[in-house]
Structure 1
Amino acid sequence: MPTRGGPRRHARRAGEVLPALALSLALLAGTTSCSVIPTGGRSVMSVDDESKGSPLGDPYARVVAMPPKAGWSPEEVVTGFRAAMASLDDSDFRIARQYLAADFAAKWNPRSGVTVYRQGAYDKFAPIGAEDRQAQVTLKGTKIAVIDPDGRYRPSGGPLNQPFTLARQADGEWRISTAPDGLLLSEADVARGYPPVDLYFLDARREALVVDQVRVPIDPGANFAKTTVERLLRGPSSSLADAVRTAFTGIGLIDVTTENNRVVVDLDGRVAADLVDPMSAQLAATLSALTKGGWGFEVKVNGESYHPDAPLRVDAQKQSSFDPWLAPGAVDPYYLAGDGLRLLGKENTGQPVPGRAGQKRLGLDPPAISGQSARQVAQRSADRRSLSVAPLAAGGEWRVWATGESLAPPSWDRYGTLWAVDRPNDHTSVLTRYDGDGKRHYRVTAPDLETAYVKSLKVARDGVHVAVIVRDGLGEQVRVGTVVGERERTRITNLQTVVDSENGRKIKDITWNDGKTLYALTDRSELLEASVAAEPASLGTGSRIESIAALDGRLLAGSSDEQGGRQIFYWTSSKWEALVKHENGTADFVENGPSFPAFPLG
């Protein structure tokens, strides 16, 4: 409905840049500025440039916004304000505040977070009269995500109807008197100025690397490697703050440069001797994506060698030797057959595992394989009232570790702990960790899960991230949270939905690929890739897929046909291909066919 106080002309499309704004674009490579390119049009241009062999960051686009001009309409003022919020050069938002009325400019807080939106259009209003003192411009579109002040990116859909109230100043110019705190940025703004970065921290035992997916705003005055290390030294985002540690406590950064084909990280202090190895792994893991492989690292203190007698040089793949599960390499999968658990080895042939687990299976139910060198398998009984564990070693016998009313499939973590979930009814779940030989167990505190039905729980290989399939009044969703504490102090916090119950879909299975992404299988045999930092992406569908297992980019599935015949498939990035069809040439797939592939800690 037309309302009094709107802009004096019809709205332009929100994706258009008003000619009066005189936006410009520049390319930066590290701290070197290239030529300024006036856009003069409606969209930002992208220009390719060579990185000159430097691993410290590729060129990026820079939007430079101009202050407001005399005679601008309320719509033009709001559009100029939006452009100024996206400017990377104005780190204090000095230009952006020029679009605001004085009293509002003094209290506007641009650092309270970012709302990411997909542009629609401004609402249309009736003409503004010469005597009108107020106007309102409403930006319409779709809300995509929010970026917390610590860089945590959280997808968040829904319509955007953002009003801006403007007041006519004493000089007759319009200025914004009411607007939300924080920044309002389009998807293109965020893609240009807030690239995703994987920061790596340490688990509580300082033996694993845990990824923290954040968005880091580009600083035009520094190379992006320096900006990234500065963000690493600030510590983890709120979702991991209680669960991880860092080697950099009390340490600051002087600079990140290159020297003798190495990336040199110059700190203002030294960490404790026992933290040098973890510190090196954190740096290598965090910077490896930016250096694009091959570049080693050196750590200095105040421009001098880290050690008086020798430099501290870090291999480009230090993270892999520190935490083998970060890049596990060739790890063979397991699967069930009619005569027990098998290990899939060379030429895709399966061999029975040693011990009782390779001789007789408990039932047609997904197995869980531990990650230690002395591996164990856990599996539910056919009635789902008990969980049994057997060592994968000669003479290994099944032994009951857990009992309950209706147990979910088990999951191991990297510490040799078995996770069990009992569902005494459809709206209650009890989570328990079993240590050592299963005789010691501890209740897990998880308020958001204890009043829902947990269909499945999978701990990631970093021991900190956890994924669950939850059924509640909203349907079935996949949520990802954080494991904090050990033994009786264990709790699960910061649960975030990564796959919702869209169109009533149900989730059949989930599996972690690595510490930041997981796969979900729906009841329509649709394969989804999900994480806390992006909307789930559909990878495709398969015929009668019933279970999935993944490890570091390798994805397997178990399926059954209409006659009950079972096969194991592998994913080729676009479709499923048969991997194991039958055992010993028999066509008796119903009883003896392969099923339920499983990787260690899957």
Structure 2
Amino acid sequence: MPDSGGVEHVDASPQEPQVQVFAVPPQKDASPSEIVEGFLEALTSDDPEFSTARKYLTEEASERWEPERSTTVLADGPSADSTRTRTDPDGGGYLYALTGRMIATVDDEHAYRSEQGKYSSLVHLVRQDGDQWRIDVPPNGVVLAQSDFERLYLPVSKYFYASPSSSDGGEAPSAPAMVADPVYIRKRIDPVTEAVRSLLDGPTNWLDNVASSRFSTGIALAEGTKSLAPDDQNHLKIPLNERANAVKPDRCAKMAAQLFFTLRDLTPAGIEQVELQRENGSKLCALDADQAEASAPNRSLSGADYQYFIDEKHRLVRMPKNGDEVEPVPGPLGNGERELRSAAVSRAEDRAAGVSNDGRSLYVGSLLSDERLEKTEIRSEAKQEKDRLTKPSWDGRGDLWVADRDPRDQRLLWLAQGGGDPVEVKVVGLDDARINAVRVSADGVRVALIVEQDGRTELKIGRVERQGTSEDPEVSVVELRPGAPQMEEVTAMSWAGGSRLVVVGKEAGGVQQLQYVQSDGSVLQGSALPALTGVTDIAASEDERLPMVARSEEDGIVRLHPGANWRPVVKEGTSPVYPG
């Protein structure tokens, strides 16, 4: 530290928030194992085009190799199998065998998919350029360890609109909900531009049947656009090609809303405004946060005024989102007329559904008046209470879902607008597994199920497809995929955002934990929540600023405010829920 001299102004250079990882090119006379290990190490760098990794390949292999086509995620990274690594007796080359425990794959749409199993790949090397070893048959795409994947890749939710179904008469019953489509992009290789390009490509295959984009086919970034970044006012301008020049204002606003919700959390300061531009740079439309919410009123119903649960008198009660006062809900479900074991509140908070205390019957009543409680046509005939109706769930379209766990007649049931004749939902791929819990997303196109089979309870996420007519609807759940593949026993779950859930469960041989997961089955970094003993039920809001509510066998109804620890509310109570 100097103790004399003048004071001078020094301009500080901006600091990188994270360390950059640079790949090292192959060394002269490197052995085959050093070439393969150097190539695999180069895959974990921040090299945008994998240019250094390509130096480990022959020219022909470099031209064929397409790292963007797939990413394979292994538990501990690829390792050599010495029993299969040897000189190739046929071609004079060298065979290098890679093995590992596979966790997931990410395809060319950036979609994550859990893939549990053994990974095995043969890498072939030849001598070239003065007797130097180079790879002429590389692994497919990129192969790396889970820790490297978490460091290099960023989860992003692309937003689309729920497609109308034939049972709606070709039109959605209200303004179409926005559907979050989770993908993974490279974290430090221009994520904003990469997210925009991915959005313009449309929904991933898994959601393509039930979600649509307001960007017409062929609309892309204007030619020559290399990088997108918000200005010092957090306004982002996005130039589009000539296919967007004649887009009408209403459609443009919906396009901008898709971009706004996709990009809003991708920069440290967020996005305040999105402006779409024509090919010549003129303004097509602009959208700020308030206008974006108005363009997609059903994107997230985060304005929930209350949290709800069943009290010791088996009534539906509520408490303000930021207060501890507990009061019975207005109407028949709160006056004790019918004892309840579980309930669900509509997303508009104007109606609620309750399962009778014996688990046999489902009722629907108003939360705005003392109108008579309506008994639905759903009734469970199971002999034991634990085999009867699950907690119900409302989707964002106003439809009601519940499962009957009767071993003799296991069913998932759907009530249009919470009434009428129940429709049995066909669940493709469920086989003989029993549904223990059902929660439908706000968009109404995805459903989370806790299913039990062979003594194991798992979380499954399915896509909801609606066919038929409004008079004779057909509802099915298809393409079930693991929601928390790392957990052997799932106790409870709740949607906690457009593409995020909170899950209570245990890994094999582990203790109960609370964790956030993506709807594609991936685990978010830093996703573990404060520990809580004996959690049997949990409820979260799509608005992450609101507290989480749970039921603990030891503490009763408890709440978790952001940045705090669990705090008891009432000792006696069950079945906590947010609207939904």
- TM-score norm. by structure 1 comes to 0.76
Helix, strand or coil at the partner of 1:449: coil
Residues 169-227 of structure 1, C-alpha deviations (whole Å, 9 max, x = no match): 6964434354432221344654565332221111124622221221124796xx43222
Alignment of 1:390-469 (within 5 A): 390-401=365-376, 402-405=378-381, 406-425=388-407, 429-436=410-417, 438-449=419-430, 451-469=432-450
Aligned AA (1:286): T
Letter of the aligned partner of 1:468 in structure 2? L
Structure 2 residue matching 1:490: 3-state secondary structure: strand
Q: How far apart are the structure 1 equivalents of 2:87 and 2:414?
A: 69
**Alpha-carbon distance change, 186 to 597 in structure 1, aligned in 2, over 3 angstroms:** closer
- From 234, 238, 245, the equivalent of 1:265 is 238
1:333/1:344 contact within 8 Å kept:
yes
Instruction: Show the counterpart of 2:289.
Output: 316
- In the alignment, is residue 213 of structure 1 matched against residue 182 of structure 2? yes
Change over 3 Å in CA distance of 1:576–1:263 after alignment to 2 = same
How far apart are the structure 2 equivalents of 1:156 and 1:99? 28
Distance 1:111 1:300 in 2: 28
Q: State the superposition RMSD in angstroms.
A: 3.5
Distance 1:500 1:134, change over 3 A: same
- Classify the secondary structure of the residue corresponding to 1:76: helix
Do the aligned partners of residues 187 and 316 (structure 1) sit closer, same or farther apart at CA in structure 2, a change above 3 Å counting? same
1:150 CA drift (Å)? 0.6
Match of 1:499 in 2: 484
What's 2:113 paired with? 154
Q: State the alpha-carbon separation in 2 of the partners of residues 514 and 104 from structure 1.
A: 43
Q: Which of 455, 475, 479 is the aligned partner of 1:490? A: 475
**Cα distance, 1:356–1:128 mapped onto 2, change above 3 Å:** closer
1:356 counterpart = 2:345:
no
Provide the residue aligned with 1:136 in structure 2. Answer: 95
**Aligned twin of 1:5:** none
- TM-score of the aligned structures, taking structure 2 as reference length: 0.79
Indicate conservation of the 8 Å contact 1:357/1:396, yes or no. Answer: no
Structure 1 residues 73 and 259: alpha-carbon distance in aligned structure 2, compared to 1, 3 A threshold: closer
User: Which deviates more from structure 2 when the two are superposed, residues 148-157 or residues 547-556?
Assistant: 148-157
Size of the aligned set, in residue pairs, is 521
- Mean Cα deviation higher: 203-212 or 161-170: 161-170
Q: For residues 120-163 of structure 1, what are the alpha-carbon distances to aligned partners after superposition, in whole Å with 9 as ceiling and x for unaligned?
A: 64345799789992433234544342111110123445554543
Moved more, 266-275 or 183-192: 183-192
Aligned pair 1:577/2:536, yes or no? no
Give the CA deviation at 1:315: 0.9
Aligned-partner SS, 2:447? strand
Aligned to 2:158: 199
How far is the alpha carbon of 1:475 from its aligned partner? Answer: 1.4
Q: Does the CA contact (< 8 Å) of 1:476 and 1:500 recur in 2?
A: no
Give the deviation of 1:381 after TM superposition.
2.4
Unaligned runs of 5+ in 2: 1-12, 164-171, 382-387
1:508 to 2:476 alignment: no
Q: CA deviation at 1:470?
A: 0.6
Change over 3 Å in CA distance of 1:542–1:323 after alignment to 2: same
In the alignment, the residues of structure 2 paired with residue 98 and residue 149 of structure 1 have an alpha-carbon distance, to the nearest angstrom, of 23
Do 1:341 and 1:361's aligned partners in 2 also have CA atoms closer than 8 Å? no
- Partner residue, 1:113: 70
Please state whether the residue corresponding to 1:348 is helix, strand or coil. Answer: coil
Check the 8 A contact 2:221/2:239 in 1, yes or no: yes
Which amino acid counterpart does residue 559 of structure 1 have in structure 2?
S
Distance 2:534 2:229 in 1: 53
* SS across alignment from 2:239: strand
| Secondary structure at 1:365 match in 2 | strand
The verdict on how the C-alpha distance between 1:84 and 1:550 changes in structure 2, with shifts beyond 3 A counting, is closer
Instruction: Return the alpha-carbon distance in structure 2 between the equivalents of residues 394 and 412 of structure 1.
Output: 20
Q: Retained in 2: the 8 A contact 1:60–1:192?
A: no
In structure 2, C-alpha distance between the alignment counterparts of 1:448 and 1:409, rounded to whole Å: 22
The aligned residue for residue 246 of structure 1 is 213
Any idea what SS the aligned residue of 1:277 has?
helix
Structure-2 change in CA distance of 1:191 and 1:358 (3 Å): closer
Q: Supply the distance in 1 between the matched residues of 2:191 and 2:573 (Cα, whole angstroms).
A: 49
SS of residue paired to 2:482: strand
Amino acid at match of 1:216: I
Partner AA of 1:495 in structure 2: L
Residues 429, 277 of structure 1: CA spacing in aligned structure 2 closer, same or farther, 3 A cutoff? farther
* Residues 173-184 of structure 1 mapped to structure 2, 5 A cutoff: 173-184=132-143
- Please say if 1:80 is aligned against 2:38: yes
Paired residue for 1:300?
Answer: 277
Conservation of the 8 A alpha-carbon contact between 2:23 and 2:52: no
Alpha-carbon distance in structure 1 between the residues aligned to 2:352 and 2:460:
25
Aligned: 1:596 with 2:569: no
Q: Give how far 1:352 is off.
A: 2.0
| 2:251 corresponding residue in structure 1 | 275
Q: Structure 2 residue aligned with 1:473, among 454, 462, 472?
A: 454
Residue of structure 1 in register with 2:167 after alignment: none
Distance 1:80 1:288 in 2: 37
How many angstroms apart in 2 are the aligned matches of 1:226 and 1:216?
A: 10
Letter in structure 2 aligned against 1:598: V
- Which stretches in structure 1 are left out of the alignment for 5+ residues? 1-47, 52-57, 582-592
Instruction: Report if aligned partners of 1:545, 1:559 keep a CA contact under 8 Å in 2.
Output: yes
Q: Does the 8 A contact of 1:61 with 1:192 survive in 2? A: no
Structure 1 residue 96: deviation in Å? 4.9
Structure 1 residues 370, 450: closer, same or farther in 2, change over 3 A? farther
| 1:441-500 C-alpha deviation (Å, 9 max, x unpaired) | 433232123532111110012222211001123611011222233662432233221224
Q: Percent of aligned positions with the same letter in both sequences?
A: 26
What pairs up with 1:524-543 in 2 under 5 angstroms?
A: 526-531=513-518, 532-535=520-523, 538-543=528-533
**Contact 1:477–1:501 (CA<8 Å) still a contact in 2?**
no
| Local SS of the residue matching 2:77 | strand
* Mapped contact 1:203–1:245 kept (Cα < 8 A): yes
